[in-house]
Amino acid sequence: MKALNIPENKHPRVVVIGGGFAGINLIKNLKGKPFQIVLLDKHNYHTFQPLLYQVATAGLEPDSIAYPLRKIFKDFKHFHFRVATAQSVDLKTKILLTDRGPLDFDHLIIATGSDTNYFGNESVRELSMSMKTVPEALNLRSLMLQNFEEALLTDNYSEREALMNFVIVGAGPTGVELAGALAELKNVVLPKDYPDLDIRQMNIHLVEAAGKVLPPMSDESSARAQRYLEKLGVQVWLDTMVKDYDGKKVLTNKKDLPTRTLIWAAGVTGNTLEGVPSESMEKGRILVDEFNRIKGTESFFAIGDVALMKTEQKPKGDPMVAQTAIQQGETLAKNLLRSSSGKEMKPFHYKDKGSMATVGRNKAVVDIKKFHFGGLFAWFLWMVVHLVALVGFRNRAVALLNWVYNYFSYDKGIRLIIRPWKRKITIPKEETPTV
């Protein structure tokens, strides 16, 4: 079968769905090995998701954190990439259906990552902003700048307040880092850009259902991060649940927050694939064994955020972070080689290399085993780790130059509305008396 124009050869065909951390690290570890590898992704680039918030807040351009997938694997033999969306799989016939046609395989690797979880709140899904992809980050950047331009044009106090307020739901690393970046814009950049506006009216609310920010991190780092945020002017709301959002006001169990911009960073769910047995699914993720095999199958695997590997010690599985995806990709590549040689596969064991989050200029928190620290050194370590993890020398160089420029100039120079963003639903303006 010459589906998707993939030539036949003598090697077993390994189809990888998703060019994220899990997929690209699996393929890298199969370079030069006796497999034909087919990578499918709806985008032609890999996204470094930990820095999406910097694109959204005008700190970096998207080409600093995105890298062409074809360029990553340009020297790989028996490798084929196609821009396609996987739709369903038939595990009996080993046929994958895509929007570009069917594709047969010997081994299937589902590395589709995660998507935003709205927990069934349809109004939030329709009206909030998420930040899982480069286009979504650019949409958020455009909306933020459009709101300030709109605030200049209205003398309605309630309307102006809603346009200048930002509510971020979810105080994990994404929410904390985004809140810190917005606070720095408010304190340093926006007063110069908009001298006609009283930027002091801008409020940044960080809403978290748990009792602390950065719930996965230590209590010490959490408390330190909250102090940093509050010092920057962020209003932190703990033990606070979002009930609804109408495009103008966020309803919570504590206080209603006026805003035209609700940013949802409260949770994720797996990007699953139709055809995976229902008994192999749990809470929106695919259940896998210790070899990342989909439960009840032999040649079908799932790695990264979409995979849930439950054990007695870890009933909730390993954390949905980049390191888990990278390590699972590397381990599965070795196991495919072992299996092809008639050897037993080795179980996956996650190695926790620590966690970190930046809150702003010279401010970050780091947990490495029993060590918890913050401040300037933690911030510097955060920058080094993220620079090293970026794909491609150019991306590292561009990101570093931007950070150095921003640090010494106290500025973020990418405040451009390249493509204005419009909501699918029109929200009526306030008609209250002007001030």
Catalytic residues: 177
Separation CA 14–CA 11 (nearest Å): 9
Q: Give the amino acid at 174.
A: T
How many alpha carbons lie under 13 Å from residue 190 in its C-beta half-sphere?
A: 25
Residue 108 near residue 89, CB atoms below 8 Å: yes
Closest Cα to residue 132, out of 315, 323, 267?
267
Closest Cα to residue 378, out of 167, 141, 214?
214
Largest CA distance in the chain: 77
Pull the structure tokens for residue 301.
């695997």
Pull the structure tokens for residue 57.
């807040």
Query: Residue 67 belongs to what H/E stretch?
Result: strand 66-68
Query: Residue 373 belongs to what H/E stretch?
Result: strand 371-374
Handedness of CA 233, 408, 393, 60 (dihedral sign): positive
Residue 317 near residue 308, CB atoms below 8 Å: yes
* Angle of helix 21-28 versus helix 322-340 axis, rounded to 10: 40
Q: Give the amino acid at 292.
A: N
Separation CA 29–CA 73 (nearest Å): 11
Residue 294 near residue 287, CB atoms below 8 Å: yes
